[in-house]
Chains A and B, each alone.
Chain A
Amino acid sequence: MNFLSREATVAPPGFNRWLVPPAAISVHMCIGEVYGFSVFNVPLTQAGAGWTIPQVGWVYSIALFMLGMSAAAFGKWVERSGPRKTMVASCVCFCGGLLISALGVKLQMLWLLYLGYGVIGGIGLGLGYISPVSTLIKWFPDRPGMATGMAIMGFGGGALIGAPLGVKLMDHFHSATSLGVAEAFVAIACLYAVSMLFGAFLVRVPTADWKPDGWEPSQHVKPMMTNASVAVDVAWKTPQFWCLWVVLCMNVSAGIGILGQASKMCSDMFGVSAAVGGGFAGLLSLFNMGGRFVWSSVSDYTGRKTVYSIYFLLGAVLYCAVPWTQNIQNKTLFVAVTAVIITMYGGGFATIPAYLRDLFGAYQVGAIHGRLITAWSVAALLGPSLVNYISTARIEAGVPKAEAYNSTMFLMAGLLMIGLVANLLVRPVDPKHHVAETPRA
């Protein structure tokens, strides 16, 4: 029996299920580093190879694109191989990608960065992102929202760690002959490999018949929740899958539009310095992380459909309130409104695995989640493009910078309304799609 195999990770009797969330978080908080990659952009342009910001920016875009594609492509393999093998594969790809990127910086070959951090590292992101999802749902059938929310909170937290760590490492390795970027990549690869392998070592899957003490599945079935199973190849052809795809895409498009432009938006709307704007972006990351845990935990009590309706309705109201906070020049209110918006952006990410579990069962939920993440890839292009395009067009049309974002906010509220309609259309999956007898995942 291979140490990495699913069989080797089956938990012994008496195993404490609360060891699984830290295993998942230790992987997610490493791969979440991708959100902090922008701290390397300027130093990379100064590395002497004549690279420009748009050229370097492609590294991040390729990585996020590969995250979605690999999660979709390898979902079934992840379910078959189990969380430990997947976490090790994720570690090899993500940390290996960082090492290849370090070589690219040293040799001044941009294509090595695209290949290393972008393609190979991006595959590591996708594998790592979905690796613990179905395991957590099986360990916490009584609170799947909270369990997956914790892991996905770790991904949000990865930005809080990755960005300052990258800056501190570059400062540490900075010398007369080097900006310290390559050395920082190597150091991050080594540190993160330890953390990810710790998670892989710690993770366990429950036995097929395991359930929490005193918990009976039949007593906890709600109208939108099933105990049956749907295979991934069937699930993605159902209307429910595509409704949730639209739900995720709209929620992420709206949130990422603000998150990606937070620093500039704050500066433009309230006349604060770039440093203060950067602080605002950091604060939003904090609320993004917190929202992932809080909202997904709340969904265990309210149901997923209700919580997404709250995201969309409350979100739309708050987006429409943003121009008003700028109009009355109330910075504190602006921060409060955008902070709540961003908690719901994070909450949307964190609640989706539990929503999928409710509709399709736990059998191949990780693989189904992997395919749904393609919505994130689309949203990552759609959201920032909309904000950039509209605000730039408005400024060029003579609108003051401070007011240039108003129409964008109303558009984001419109996107949330589309998401609301898709959410309201979600119905339980037709039993004809259920697997006759739930196989062991």
Chain B
Amino acid sequence: MKTITLAIAWIWIAVPLGWGVYQSVQKSMPLFHGPSQPAAVSRPTP
């Protein structure tokens, strides 16, 4: 009974946290795909 309570308690928090992590990873994927436009950078003139 104690083990079941312990398992339920941890699953209770692991499921929403896992869902949040999944959403975050999915949203961040475009960061590592596709080329980005080079940002405007000032270079020292010779």
Contacts and interface: CB of A to CB of B under 8 A. Distances in A.
A199 to B, nearest CB: 9
Contacts of A282: 23-24, 27-28
Interface in B9-30: 9-10, 12-13, 16-17, 19-21, 23-25, 27-30
Nearest to B3: A16
Q: Which of B16, B17, B19, B21 has the most CB of A within 10 A?
A: B16
B27 A278 contact: yes
Contacts of B32: 332
A374 interface: no
Contacts of A22: 9-10, 12-13
B36 A276 contact: yes
A106 interface: no
A275 B17 contact: no
B32 to A, nearest CB: 8
Contact of A25 (B2, B13, B30, B39): B13
Contacts of B21: 157, 160, 286, 289
B39 A268 contact: yes
Central interface residue in B23, B28, B39, by most chain A CB within 10 Å: B39
Contacts of A286: 21, 24-25, 28
Interface residues of A, number: 46
B19 A272 contact: no
Nearest to A158: B20
A402 B41 contact: yes
B37 interface: yes
B45 interface: no
A403 interface: yes
A16 B5 CA distance: 10
A237 to B, nearest CB: 38
Contacts of A266: 31
Contacts of A421: none
A269 B39 contact: yes
B38 A329 contact: yes
A275 B28 CA distance: 9
Contacts of A25: 13, 17
Max chain B C-beta neighbours (<10 A), residue from A268, A279, A332, A399:
A279
A268 B40 CA distance: 9
Contact of A279 (B2, B12, B29, B42): B29
A326 B41 CA distance: 9
Given A276-B36, A400-B42, A402-B39, A283 B20 contact: no
Contacts of A195: 12, 16
Contact of B37 (A18, A26, A272): A272
Contact of B28 (A26, A283, A326, A400): A283
A400 B41 contact: yes
B28 A271 contact: no
A62 to B, nearest CB: 25
A285 interface: yes
Contacts of A29: 13, 16-17
Given A400-B42, A401-B40, 13 more contacts: A14-B2, A154-B17, A157-B17, A164-B20, A195-B12, A195-B16, A269-B39, A270-B39, A271-B38, A275-B30, A276-B31, A280-B31, A332-B32
